[in-house]
Structure 1
Amino acid sequence: MRTSRDDPPSRAGLRRLAGALLLGGALLGAALPAGSPAAALDAAVRTPVPASGYRNAREAVRSGVRDYNAGDKEGAARALEYAAGQGHALALWKLGRMYAEGDGVPHDDLKAFEFFSKIADENADEGPDSANATVVASAFTALGRYFLDGIKGSYVRPNVERAYEMFNYAASYYGDPNAQYNLARLYLDGTGVTQDVRQAARWFNLAAEKGHPAAQALLGQMLINGQGVPTQRARGLAWLTLARDAAEGPKDQWIVSLQEQALAAASERDRAEAQAQVDGFYRRSARAR
């Protein structure tokens, strides 16, 4: 069977890969700080876990989600920390997101990295149809982003090869659109891989079909410019229009600008065809729900 760099690693290979996240050394590309035991990579060791006031991890997660939605993020963190100590994947993921964003807790990328690492280590055998699949895929994608830039002042050094492995696994095995988008960016920019705009277009397309706005916008631009794909101006404008429809706030202003430029330059025929494709996309999405 022909294999390529886009083939996801084997289960055994993934287990070794994920396990290395918590054991340090080769995967991190740097030794741990002096005096730091390998166990310090385990988020449960670094995070104080309150005395149990819950019957089980599931109850703690329910309580944490309830507190979070009610605006009590401190209470949510306490409940989630208890569930995380029991290895509950959703609790680990939610805490990772909270620390990554400084959402109700102090911003701490290293702590977030460790929570995501624990998910990868303990759920390496989760299949794409499992209950935890979305959480596991998201954790691998988050780890990929941390490896891309490293975490300043910590043992997590920039490691583009590891970032590629994280993105590629989540994109190929789990079909995660965020991972597919990040993988496409590596190919588009030639970061850690040989630049390959056709591969970039392929991964952007997979993410775009799942409603990823940034992937839709960049794929649309590539189709309009004939970059790595045959020029299809109407289809490119359609993707840009879908991306603009989903754009949120100032962070997505670049999407709005791209769509406005493409629309201004489009012929009436291309505009009409693009709108028909947009309408068709929404109809298919509604049927799929």
Structure 2
Amino acid sequence: MIAARAALVAALLVASTAAQAQRSDASDVAAALRPAVTAYRQGDVATAEQALRALRSADADAWLGAILIERGATAEGLRLIQRAADAGSAEGQHRLGLVYARGDAGQPRKDTRAAELFTKAAEQGHRRAQTNLGLLYLRGQGVPRDLVQARAWLEKAASDGDPYALYTLGRAMDEAAPPVAADTTRAADLFRRAAEKGHPTAALRYGLALSEGAGVKKDLSASHRWLVQAQENGVPEAALALGDIAVRMPMQRDKAANDKALKIAIAWYELAANGGVPSAQFKLANAYLGGVGVPRDPAQAQLWYNRAAQQGLTEAQQALGVLLVSGAGGATDPAEGYKWLLLAERSGRPDASAARDKLADKVSDRDRKRAEALAQAFKPTSELPQDDGQPRLMAPRR
């Protein structure tokens, strides 16, 4: 669990290069750096590298080092970033912090060192470092978890309206850690502001807030618009949310209308499931197993349970285990099925133990031993993409 959380934080860290890749200008850097940074952001790496080498400044070294690491020249790139950080460059300190936070350039992860470097850069006003330091405090990575510190640094980072900082501050405002309470109204507003600037995950969060009336007036029409936008811009969890909204719609007297709503929900679940969202895969499997909104197909149900189970979803592991031990899905594999029941039980699934006991007489001692070994060796594998930077901004619909 700790390793998984560390990987998640590393994936969310904001790099000045990646996060600003869509900008054609370079108004966020010093005047001397702007021609080189503009060239880099427009994809002209050769011109950018040549210009940065000619500048001979600590900040130029930091930018050049990041570019070199990106294209595989890790030794020279790391040397330049280290030199920039040693010279007191906030950009260099931030870049070196990213190296240690993400384990880049062949370096081991050093979360505490990353936090120290982000702090130095953040204290100099470096916005990306402030965002990343706030994120580390939010997740307790390299520093003790501290929601007050997280919010304080993220407020600084978001002061100029940066969408990545606005989104991360929204996440911090949406969480509670006594004595600090959640502020869903502020969170929803921050998600809206970030979404309006093109942040796709913020569009998901704002769409969910609108669908639930969490911190904002409930508005299913607006929710649908933002969720569709998020889904179309690479956030498959938005399709899951759209499916859930369709399922929760009040029943009509018109059976045809109810059937249509159900088919819409299944279509959204299928999109999310194909996008790798385990909860959507589980719900789609349930639909196939029960013949709800789709023809009954236990084999299809087993396939989708398996995909969700491989990602570590405990309810899918239990359902798959029952199908494989009982043969209700069309194929019987007692050892494999018992493995999934063991994993569901060990993950704390409340009724997993009862399900395993009920089916125990269908599993031989030999298969139990094999299942134990399989369960011991199991490691969940996520289907969702793991990006090493923030999502690209999109053009919001009006």
TM, length-normalised to structure 2: 0.47
**Cα shift at 1:100:** 5.6
Note if contact 1:65-1:76 (Cα within 8 Å) is conserved in structure 2.
yes
Going from structure 1 to structure 2, the CA distance change for 1:259 and 1:107 (only over 3 Å counts) comes to: farther
* Structure 1 position 120 matched with structure 2 position 228: yes
Note if contact 1:64-1:79 (Cα within 8 Å) is conserved in structure 2.
yes
Going from structure 1 to structure 2, the CA distance change for 1:106 and 1:263 (only over 3 Å counts) comes to: farther
**Cα shift at 1:140:** 0.3
Structure 1 equivalent of residue 60 of structure 2: none
Among 243, 251, 266, the residue aligned to 1:144: 243
Note if contact 2:206-2:226 (Cα within 8 Å) is conserved in structure 1.
no
**Cα shift at 1:53:** 6.0
SS in 2 for 1:231: coil
**Cα shift at 1:253:** 2.3
* Structure 1 position 199 matched with structure 2 position 300: yes
Give the partner amino acid of 1:147.
A
Which moves more between the two structures, 138-147 or 66-75? 66-75
Give the partner amino acid of 1:179.
A
User: What is the percentage of aligned positions where both structures have the same residue?
Assistant: 28
Aligned mates of 2:273, 2:243 — CA distance in 1: 11
Give the partner amino acid of 1:229.
G
Structure 1 equivalent of residue 314 of structure 2: 213
SS in 1 for 2:236: helix
Deviations 1:237-262 (A, max 9, x none): 11111122223xxxx42334313433
Structure 2 equivalent of residue 91 of structure 1: 202
Note if contact 1:117-1:143 (Cα within 8 Å) is conserved in structure 2.
no
Structure 2 equivalent of residue 272 of structure 1: 369
Pick the structure with greater CA Rg: 2
Note if contact 1:117-1:139 (Cα within 8 Å) is conserved in structure 2.
no
**Cα shift at 1:101:** 6.2
RMSD: 3.1
Note if contact 1:116-1:139 (Cα within 8 Å) is conserved in structure 2.
no
SS in 1 for 2:226: helix
Aligned mates of 1:208, 1:100 — CA distance in 2: 28
Structure 2 equivalent of residue 72 of structure 1: 182
* Structure 1 position 254 matched with structure 2 position 365: no
Q: Report how many residues are paired.
A: 214
**Cα shift at 1:213:** 1.2
Structure 1 residues without counterparts, runs of 5 or longer: 1-51, 127-132
* Structure 1 position 55 matched with structure 2 position 144: no
**Cα shift at 1:102:** 6.8
**Cα shift at 1:205:** 0.9
Deviations 1:68-115 (A, max 9, x none): 345332432332232233342222222344566676x3795x54x743
**Cα shift at 1:217:** 0.8
Note if contact 1:116-1:142 (Cα within 8 Å) is conserved in structure 2.
no
SS in 1 for 2:351: helix
Note if contact 2:204-2:226 (Cα within 8 Å) is conserved in structure 1.
no
Q: How does 1:146-165 map to 2 (within 5 A)?
A: 146-151=245-250, 158=258, 159-165=261-267
